[in-house]
Structure 1
């Protein structure tokens, strides 16, 4: 029997909101969480509000005490509570799994030991992203598949196929960005991908790079019959996933088309990567060739680039957009050279399918589609 995959839980924390509801409402109010910062490498970043409690988020976990881990756990708890499911029996727990999307837990912990005369034997426990996946599994009471190597939309794709294959009925997918410090900013600035200004201009003629953001997001995927049997609220169905790495434009385009599953699911809304860099031109061409009439939005100009959490946060917002019948606008899009249906103001819609597209700085193209259940 064909196994369908649906979304039953969502969570998010960002520079514009400490909860998913706060982040969504702020997006719809066109708020921007990117603020000036003191750094030799960058002028601005999407910083988490100081009211966020790192200690509270990491209470009763084995996580290293840093911001990325705290954000990751907070978003995961939001999504699990939202899904309203706690596996109780051993047979239920082995069908529940976790996929994480994280960079090293702390850039400070990553670089300092390498130049220190005394090497901390707990070094890898401090920076290893897999520790976060382990704690997420404990919170979700999951004893099934657990992955700590995927990123962004790839992690959603991994969880999607895990359920499709029958290896799990319930998967928690979470991602978190590292704290923005001079180590991270300096490294990425050396790659010439960061903007020297204080705003991201996605798809704009004067775009000159992206801006980092702090945040995390989590999404719960579940087998349809499993969700239906327990009376779960179903936000959307996952229709498909496509991914291509370091290939020609035509193949990146094929990855986007594959994500649609079949012709029945034509996305009316696309939440684009929109990082404000050179790759925006490639992404615009992909969208133009694949779905030229779709409404196009993106959220990085509001909250910054969440790196390993970007694709998950964009998926969360895309799913809410379908449910709320509203598309939050692209901010700071003043003059585009691309002929696409960009959403520049709050837009009501009747679309039933949305696509999320992510690009890893021009090399890795991934896409996931979601649709409302009829």
Structure 2
């Protein structure tokens, strides 16, 4: 897929890109993890009974689901509707069920020989072309209104799903045990995943993604030792290699976000790992995160998603406190994880509006 053949409308709102690069912004930009999803009635109507992974493979439907929250809210970015588990599928694992309906994979990775049956170098354009087609289509339909996020799962988080079949129920030690019991096979699997992540990100950017996020949803489970030894080198390599490959294709790099949930111990390392933005979950104090990250990166987050079930006044109060602690510069508003499926869309709207309102007030009085 050649980036040069894509022609898109000029960008009208570049707040999130400026914030990611550390440039001055007149207000705090905001987007929401899982903003295209089950909490929206229009999502349920458009998707109907179509299975989840079949939905991901339908570029027209993906584009519609991606655009729904942009029509409803004054968000500063769209994020393509997809899933982190498309990469294990591209590597050769067989889907057993949609997420939330039991084991996702019929053939999980349980021992070193299972790593050997994976395809270490899949044709990503062939296997995941539906993602890139959806990105290009959505960029065109956005008509420059806001930037479009692409995303991937981080190698460790993908490995956890591949080993533990997370949706089948908790089995929190199997993947970490695999890394310790079979360290060479664990490193081999993480390398295969890292290579795939790099290629998937580059192809998303070539298709039209203007900013990308790496979701390490289970990063904190590793603890400092395993995270530093096994996962951090993968995350650093992703940031480095994506930029290198874009440069080789005569393309400008795009801002990159790393979100390692519960990995408080790694904030200083993540701030120096090559990403412009470090995402934060709701369990860390904003002021503490600022001290750890210093001014090296932009921070993103971090309201507890359950706060969307509070009263509208409590949501506004929480936003005001959050923005005051993070400050209005080098900051992107978001939740500390994905929006919950039973969230009232109106309450999320209050959250989004309040971030804009309070940050504009703070900037005006500065």
Q: Is TM more than 0.5 here?
A: no
Structure (1 or 2) with the greater strand fraction: 1
Structure (1 or 2) with the greater helix fraction: 2
TM-score, with length taken from structure 2 = 0.30
TM-score, with length taken from structure 1 = 0.29
